[in-house]
Structure 1
Amino acid sequence: MQIVFAAFTALAGLVAVLVGAYARRQTRRIVSAGCLAIALVKPAPPGAGRGLLQYETADGRVVEIVSPVPLPEGGSVRLSYDPEDPRDVVVDGHHRAAVDRGFVIAGLLLTLIGAALAISGG
């Protein structure tokens, strides 16, 4: 039974490592190769916890998305967006690198715990 628990623990750790690493890679890619825009922060729609970001892409399209981070409404923010998918954005100054690193670290710890349980479970 302990080997099953060890396998699930290690698998959960591996998933967390992959999620954190992918998020860090995407953020770095969008910030370095993405297009810049100034977005208007609009009020949140009823039932939503975060406001809307409205901005114009380099090709003239107006995009409106739910903000990936909480922001005070009524102002404007600078963001980077993926030109292939303008709905994929990183708000300047809100990269969430600590959260992504936390996923990687927690995942590595879970993977090590799973391996230790597998070894000690014989």
Structure 2
Amino acid sequence: MEAGVVVAVFAGLAGVCGAFAALVGILGLREIRRVRRFGVVAGALVKRPPGDASGEPWPPRPLLQFATEDDRVMEIVSPVPSTRRRPLRDGDTVLVSYDPADPRTVVVHRRERVGLEYGFIVVGSALLLACLALLAVAIS
């Protein structure tokens, strides 16, 4: 197999992976902004998951319980983990924004983790640039 073909295959793979990673980041940011802008704000109670006997001071992904505008009680797994710096302890209350059409779509205020979404965009863009560089090498 010719070396140019191998480089072109790697370029194609890098391009597809880069486009996918960038798209994931862009869609994640869009979803966060949409829920923050048009969502309904509610106070959510942080609860320990049932059967959690890990003994940790805070579980990695606690449950969030909140009431919707139409008085339904929702209990979902937190979309963000509890960390040492910003723990989500059992019994704490946090502000959330939820999508009224689908209350399982939640953004926890001041814990949106947009850095992760920007990271996907940066890595995806770098892979797309690597794809273009590899294609330039394969053509020449």
- TM normalised by structure 1 equals 0.95
Query: Match of 2:75?
Result: 64
Name which one, 1 or 2, has greater alpha-carbon Rg. Answer: 2
State the one-letter code of the partner of 1:9: A
Is the aligned partner of 1:35 residue 2:46? no
C-alpha RMSD of matched pairs (Å): 1.3
Percent same amino acid among aligned pairs? 43
- What stretches of structure 1 of length at least 5 have no aligned partner? none
- Higher strand proportion (structure 1 or 2): 1
Query: Match of 2:56?
Result: none
CA distance in 2, matches of 1:55, 1:104: 32
State the one-letter code of the partner of 1:67: S
CA distance in 2, matches of 1:76, 1:68: 15
SS at match of 2:105: strand
Query: Match of 2:30?
Result: 25
SS at match of 2:111: coil
- What stretches of structure 2 of length at least 5 have no aligned partner? 1-5, 53-58, 83-87
Give the drift of 1:30. 0.3
SS at match of 1:36: strand
Question: Is contact 1:38–1:78 with CA below 8 Å preserved after alignment?
Answer: yes
- TM normalised by structure 2 equals 0.83
Cα deviation, 1:4-24, whole Å, max 9, x if unaligned, reads 111000110000110000000
| Superposed structure 1 runs of 4+ greater than 2 Å apart | 44-49
SS at match of 1:64: strand
CA distance in 2, matches of 1:118, 1:73: 53
User: What is the count of residue pairs matched by the alignment?
Assistant: 122
SS at match of 1:86: coil
SS at match of 2:61: coil
CA distance in 2, matches of 1:5, 1:44: 44
